[in-house]
């Protein structure tokens, strides 16, 4: 599998997990065979970039390649700035989080809340893709809730905007982390 010009050694991805996939955990997973391991999400709010937590998350010295950093936010300009900030600090892939269901993220219209506004999705994606030279990837859910499963439409928007790889958490935001994932929805062979 390739993302932009990065040839991955296999197609096994470590799912990004805030509070779990820190650098030691990513290194361990890469050593045990993962072809790709993205960082924990970093806020697009520049006021937080000086914080110890964000500085630690933005430190990639000595890390295996390609180094992917996940950003989260809702403002196209701030997201572009965050992408540039991280690319200048060694990120070789920028991943955008539109899958997080947490209230503190969705209440500021970021993470999976963005799936309710396809126009804003497109604005953010275009803004980030145009702001960096490195490939940009996207993480989504299948929709906001079961009545609004627009994951496929968002995937097409992503393709149009120049997103180079898409990861899908196979649940709606309303389903959080509960129950069986929607393997039928995310099956690659299905064309509707
Ligand atoms: C503790 C925890 C933290 C997570 N944090 C993130 C995150 O920061 N970014 C992200 O894109 N997904 C995050 N996820 C979602 C996972 O990457 C993954 O998509 C989800 O757990 C579905 O996995 P499954 O398909 O194996 O059920 C998190 C999941 C868990 C359990």
Q: Which is it for the CA torsion 157, 159, 162, 168, positive or negative?
A: positive
pLDDT tens-place string over residues 139-158: 999 999 999 999 999 999 99
Which stretch of DSSP H or E encloses residue 141? strand 136-143
Question: Hey, what domains does the chain have and what are their CATH numbers?
Answer: 2-14+21-44+65-186 (3.20.20.70)
Q: How far is it, in rounded angstroms, from Cα 132 to Cα 153?
A: 24
- Residue range 69-109, pLDDT digits in tens: 999 999 999 999 999 999 998 999 999 999 999 999 999 99
For residue 15, what is the DSSP state? Answer: P
Pocket, ligand 1, Cβ cutoff 6 A:
15-20, 40-41, 70, 97, 99-100, 139, 169-170, 177, 181
Beta strands in 54-152 (DSSP E): 68-72, 93-98, 136-143
């Amino acid at each position: 599998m390739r993302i932009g010009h990065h040839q991955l050694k296999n197609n096994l991805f470590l799912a990004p997990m805030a509070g779990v996939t820190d650098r030691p955990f990513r290194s361990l997973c890469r050593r045990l065979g993962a072809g790709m391991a993205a960082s924990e999400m970093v806020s697009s709010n520049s006021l937080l970039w000086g914080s110890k937590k964000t500085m630690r998350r933005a430190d990639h010295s000595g890390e295996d390649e390609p180094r992917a950093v996940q950003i989260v936010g809702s403002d196209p300009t701030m997201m572009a700035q965050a992408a540039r900030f991280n690319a200048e600090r060694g990120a070789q892939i920028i991943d955008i989080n539109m899958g997080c269901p947490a209230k503190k993220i969705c209440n500021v219209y970021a993470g999976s809340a963005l799936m309710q506004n396809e126009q804003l999705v497109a604005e953010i994606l275009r803004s980030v893709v145009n702001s960096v030279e490195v490939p940009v990837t996207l993480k989504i859910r299948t929709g906001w809730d079961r009545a609004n499963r627009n994951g496929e439409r968002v995937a097409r928007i992503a393709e149009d905007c120049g997103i180079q790889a898409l990861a899908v958490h196979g649940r709606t935001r309303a389903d959080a982390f509960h129950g069986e994932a929607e393997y039928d929805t995310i099956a690659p062979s299905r064309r509707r």
